[in-house]
Amino acid sequence: MASTDTQRAQTIEEIEPFEAAEEINGGDVVLIDTREPHEYQEAHLDGGKLVPPGLLAEEIASAAPDKAARTILYCRSGNRSAIAAAQLQQLGYENVASMSGGILQWQEQGLPVVSPSGMTPEQRERYSRHTLLPEVGVDGQVKLLNAKVLLLGAGGLGAPTALYLAAAGVGTIGLVDDDVVDASNLQRQVIHNTERIGMAKTASARIFIEGLNPDVKVVEHNGRLDASNILDVISDYDIVVDGADNFPTRYLLNDASVRLRKPVVSASILGFDGQISTFVPFEGPCYRCLYPTPPPAELAPSCSANGVLGVMAGTMGTLQANEVIKLILGKGNPLVGRLLLYEALGTSFTELKVRRDPDCPICGENAEEIPESEMGKFPDYDAFCAGAGGDRQSIA
Amino acid sequence: MATVRIPPVLRPKTGGQAEVEVGGGNVGEVLRSLTGDYPDTQDQLFGEDGELNRYVNVYLNDEDVRVLQGLDTAVKDGDTVVILPAMAGGAA
């Protein structure tokens, strides 16, 4: 068999990639890719028609109907195309050439290929378990790579969310947090570590994310969100993930996100309990439809005061990441109009219906646009903030 | 009897129980049975006017009683009443 191949190769014309490129640019060339479909999918020459070696006899007539036309064949490294060129000559093709070195040498010489996915070979490898899923595929992975997601809080919920969104290849991850890593965070905030105690959480998160996945662009918002800057900050993002630890920020985010029509994936944790819902403005209820007003400060303990099982942050944060990915892909049924409760001691999930409130002051039928200074305010806001010690308006 | 699910912030008022069984023909009666058995829950569920505090969401099974008949919503044996205040824990 090997000697036959060699004889065939000796009888056919072989051209270098740069010669092929000149001919292709000159036009009037039929270009045939003699590889397998999955290789063609990854990258091929512009204008190359796929005719796998095993289907050459059946498919060549439709791909190259004119046996007198100049026909250039290529494969990965030049072997399969040389064999195919000899076969075509036997079939009566008069002007056939095989490109030596194949697409590998073509690319080594810096010549362009068509990569339908827009993904690099490294990305195709990294995300192969995603692209194998029909619900994701190459198109879905490209959507993830192009997506911009803002995480409010790089702490308990933000850490696992950031971890899985970064691993999934979400192309831009913004992080809002004005806190520094503390030893007491490390029981649940898995993207930070002992060495980085004292470092800004956004900087620590950047180190983790960039180490995990160089495809992700990290944007640090090392500060506080308030009514004067929230519209600017969230307008750059497709989706916001709410892991804030205080009510004023949650209401502020709600009001700003409804105005800018940004979906918000919202979760909270306390002790062994977690809640999660997805708020898509005007498609489903908003945070204020669910909670028109927060409980008084003394009934709204924080994790720092009450404690939280560390893995609760992981459970709820990864559920948030799942919601974000579904929203980006446009697949499945996100938690729009549904509130999912998780109770870890009993390992039980409960789903509640959440309706749009026609009288909602932010997204209701008669809601009027409020001035920015009023965004995030709720009934008894001043009393609430005073009761909370006045320092709960930040994301900490 | 109906099962009332107690949120974490109220559990100190119910001896740490996450669920309690109480009687009552409608949501209002069920909640008043609860506050009868566990008086410390009264101030957190009801205002001085006797109305449910607006920061407390109450669900009969999976539906918000605000879209049913409120406290008058009928409760059957075996129903679950969920008391749900907003929580804000997340980052800190």
pLDDT in tens, B43-84: 889 988 888 888 889 999 999 998 999 999 999 999 999 999
Spatial separation of the C-alpha atoms in residues A65 and B6, rounded to whole Å: 76
Do the Cβ atoms of B51 and B76 come closer than 8 Å? no
Amino acid at A228: S
ipTM value of the model? 0.92
Spatial separation of the C-alpha atoms in residues A337 and B62, rounded to whole Å: 12
Active site residue A363: no
Nearest CA in chain B to A273: B8
| Sequence-ordered list of residues with C-beta below 8 angstroms from that of A237, at least 6 positions apart, any chain | A148, A149, A150, A172, A174, A262
pLDDT in tens, A137-172: 888 999 999 999 999 999 999 999 999 999 999 999
Cβ–Cβ of A269/B90 closer than 8 Å?
yes
Q: What is the pLDDT of residue A8?
A: 47
Residue B22: Cβ-neighbour burial (10 angstroms; 0-12, 13-18, 19+): buried
A136 has a chain B CB within 8 A of its CB: no
Helix (H) or strand (E) holding A353: strand A348-353
Q: Looking at beta carbons, which residues of chain A come within 8 Å of B90?
A: 153, 155-158, 242-245, 267-269, 303
pLDDT in tens, A35-48: 998 888 778 898 89
Residue A184: Cβ-neighbour burial (10 angstroms; 0-12, 13-18, 19+): exposed
Do the Cβ atoms of A106 and A287 come closer than 8 Å? no
pLDDT over 70, % of chain A: 91
Beta bridge partners of A96: A71
A203's tokens: 């900087």
Q: Looking at beta carbons, which residues of chain B come within 8 Å of A303?
A: 89-90, 92
Do the Cβ atoms of A249 and A159 come closer than 8 Å? no
| Sequence-ordered list of residues with C-beta below 8 angstroms from that of A228, at least 6 positions apart, any chain | A372
Nearest CA in chain A to B60: A352
Cβ-based interface (< 8 Å): residues of B facing A? 5, 7-9, 18, 44, 53-57, 59, 62-64, 67, 82, 84-92
Q: How many helices (H) and strands (E) does chain B have?
A: 2, 5
B71's tokens: 């406290």
Residue among B54, B55, B91 whose CB faces A153 most closely: B91
In the block, tokens 């000159």 appear at A26
A225 has a chain B CB within 8 A of its CB: no
pLDDT in tens, A237-278: 999 999 887 888 899 999 999 999 999 999 999 889 999 999
Report the candidate in A343, A352, A292 with the shortest Cα–Cα distance to residue B59: A352
Residue A306: Cβ-neighbour burial (10 angstroms; 0-12, 13-18, 19+): middle
A304 has a chain B CB within 8 A of its CB: yes
Pairing of β B19-22 and β B56-60: unpaired
Residue among B44, B54, B90 whose CB faces A245 most closely: B90
